[in-house]
Structure 1
Amino acid sequence: MRKKLAAGNWKMNGTAAALEEVTALAGAHPRPVADILICPPATLIDRMATVAKGTAIALGGQDCHAAHTGAHTGDIAAHMLADAGATHVILGHSERRTDHGETDADVRAKTLAALDAGLVAVVCVGETEGQRDAGETLNVIGTQLAGSLPDEGVTGATVVVAYEPVWAIGTGRVPTIEQIAEVHDFMRAELAKRFGDVAEGIRLLYGGSVKPANAAEIFATSNVDGALVGGASLKAVDFSAIISALEVA
């Protein structure tokens, strides 16, 4: 059985003062049923690792470069994230794809780098509002999955896939339960076609305006193994409520 995962993406938010939220979250979930992951800005990973030491909270980066080292000003290599205390890294988030023009091939290269560094790759896919309205959702998701995941090294222990419809991120809009189930069932089937029995162990997360108020219903949906949470993960009280909903789903 796949263990549930609650992942928080802090995006470009958080300074040293926010570390107290990690302490509060750890205190609220000393022995969680679900896995808990926080992906803070890179500036906080090392300090957060110290705060989270001995707790059930794992840490991740929000991106990495495909190269191991080199003249890439402002970028961070996967092994550097691991050295700072990260065990995971988010890759292919829609904001990276949109703001930085990342392609599926870029995401695949970064995924390979993450796996080589021993990090769990949280690979994101999702359609825009225009693609959803045009009935292209499953084609878009299928193409992104095919292009973003490498052929080798993908297992339930090394890769997590997160479905985040672009039009639901930070907007307050949430797909219907039927729409979420359709995409997650589709992803499971596509992964099974490509990776065989291994696909059954790959966790599928939903992300996009997940709140304490809607978490329980989303987590009870077919093939939803957890959530990739944005703004609601910044405060321990909000993220804790989502984690609690996940644990009883």
Structure 2
Amino acid sequence: MIRWTSDFEEFQRSEDLRAGRASFESFATYLVRLGWAALVPEKRLSITALGIAVLGAMNDEAALDIQMVVAKAIDPDDPFAYAKIIGEIAGTDDAMVVDPYLKSDGLQDLLRLASVSRVLTSDESRPGRSKPSPKIAVFEHMVEASVASGFELRILPLAQMHDRYVIPKSGSVLNLTTSFNSIGQRIGVAVWLPELPSAAIRDAHAALWAAGTAVARQSPPGPESDPGATTL
């Protein structure tokens, strides 16, 4: 074990010297201090009962509740790449889709998904551009003309947005490394993130959503919007 830790000790010693520290704690001393190992005759280390228990817990995935990142490549040569991403989104619940460069065809597909209730995009504003992108007026018309119930679209300045996410009400967040309009055209990755970063992303985008400008919203259907209703 001492031989196994020698490389670590050399690295730690160089870091200590670089930081101006005159002494360092070896990895072997660290294990002894924690009680995971004990020094025995002939300067050898022996694992303790506590160390055995720690190793057992580290090998027990159920006890650690390990969450693995699930990543899927977006292959531009795959004719079904876009459909596969839409399928992933369709399996979420009450999701907010975040894409600063969303185009009208992407929005049209999202409007068809019952799993998507909100879209946050940018006005693609840039220095020197006095007016927002004309896509905003088109988006407003698309949402108002759709049959989606309770769907809402908000915008932010481009400088406040960067990454693309599908953020369900709970659970894992889907991170897309490419915009919807580029899926199938360039290589990318779709990554389902573990719980901890998903929660952080959900909280951060809840604040961004609150700061966004509402462009269009579909109200839930009521008696007055029922085409079969009779006015007396």
Please give the range of the TM-score, normalised by the shorter of the 2 chains.
0.3 to 0.5
Counting helix residues as a fraction of each chain, which structure ranks higher?
A: 1
* Higher-Rg member (1/2): 2
Counting strand residues as a fraction of each chain, which structure ranks higher?
A: 2
